Amino acid sequence: MSHKAAYNVAVVGATGAVGQKIIKLLEEKKFPIDQIKLLSSSRSAGKKISFNGEEVTVEEALPESFAGVDIALFSAGGSISKQLAPEAVKHGAVVVDNTSAYRMDKDVPLVVPEVNKEDLLNHKGIIANPNCSTIQMVAALKPLQEAFGLSRVIVSTYQAVSGAGMTANKELENQTASHLNKEEMHAEILPVKGDKKHYPIAFNALPQIDVFQENGYTFEEMKMINETKKIMHAPELSVAATCVRLPIFTSHAESVYVELNRDDLTAADIQKVLNEAEGVILEDNPETQTYPTPLSAANREEVFVGRVRKDPDLANGFHMWIVSDNLMKGAAWNTVQIAETLVENKWL
């Protein structure tokens, strides 16, 4: 595709939480758009959404919707991506997909622009946006891998309910009200809507995100394990994850333990590298109780890191706390950033 002054952009899943943030970011970042198409399921078609001061009518996403589209940003669920992303590519569009549908496909680059933007050069029409919890972790790990070498990662996550969709947020609100009114809490969505049992999330912690796999890990945990290795080009890296849902609305937090390939390092060495890393903000001072929290990271584009400390027993072991807005850097902003990177580098 030749480099243009402005592009025809389609947003698939335009009425969802991530879709709406994508639209807002395209507007805020003054992305070079000639025409925008807002696409959704037939259920949401006909709604009107404001973009750059004009009302745009949401249309049903169909194979023919992508005629003339240069860039298609998908955030409407894996089955829709499987069905329509190849159709968009057939019409000449480059797809940035926010679902897990193509992430582990060997022909699809899985990209966090600060970490591995060169992988965008290898796309064959579809580019995958990684899992939200993976994105924020690799943004902090990549600079450490480059500076010191990295051999092991163990992560425990503290994930926001919005990662399961807006209906999960509503369920948290309803359960909180029920509990405070001394009424029974009803659970129909979490931990996983399609699974057999449901548990209240209000005043609780659920050590299950997505469905269990045969090895005892959940699909979310395996996503973090496999995606981290792919993004960082480190198939030999040891990665293990425990993913937990907490009763917070926005921003995922993670306790991350790493083993580096050097044993002569201090916490200050780690902090220096993180402080200079693109897209990362270090908020780390125990004396002033400075560290990131889900609330402080909400609606921000960056990845925040604090609580950097050396393991008491292992010379090459370090612990840190990583927080980021799961709907922003974890989804919408990373998607728009990929599109920006393609345009800026003339890589379309």
Q: Give catalytic residues, as residue numbers.
A: 132, 252
Give the burial string for 53-73 (b: 16+ CB within 10 Å, else e).
eeebebbebeeebbeebbbbb
Cβ pair 81, 73 in contact under 8 A = no
Instruction: Please classify residue 215 by burial: count the beta carbons closer than 10 Å to its beta carbon, then call 0-12 exposed, 13-18 middle and 19+ buried.
Output: exposed
Helix axes 132-148, 267-275, angle to 10 degrees: 110
Dist CA 60 CA 39 (whole Å): 5
DSSP SS3 for 8:
strand
Q: Which residue has the tokens 């050396």?
A: 310
Buried b (16+ CB within 10 A) or exposed e, 235-244: eebebebbbb
Sequence-distant (6+) residues with CB within 8 A of 74 are: 12, 13, 80, 81, 84, 85, 88, 95, 96, 97, 98, 99
Nearest to 66 by CA among 41, 44, 37, 46: 37
Rg of the chain in Å (alpha carbons) = 20
Nearest in space to 261 (alpha carbons), one of 188, 165, 334, 152: 152
Q: Alpha-carbon distance 327 to 322, whole Å?
A: 15
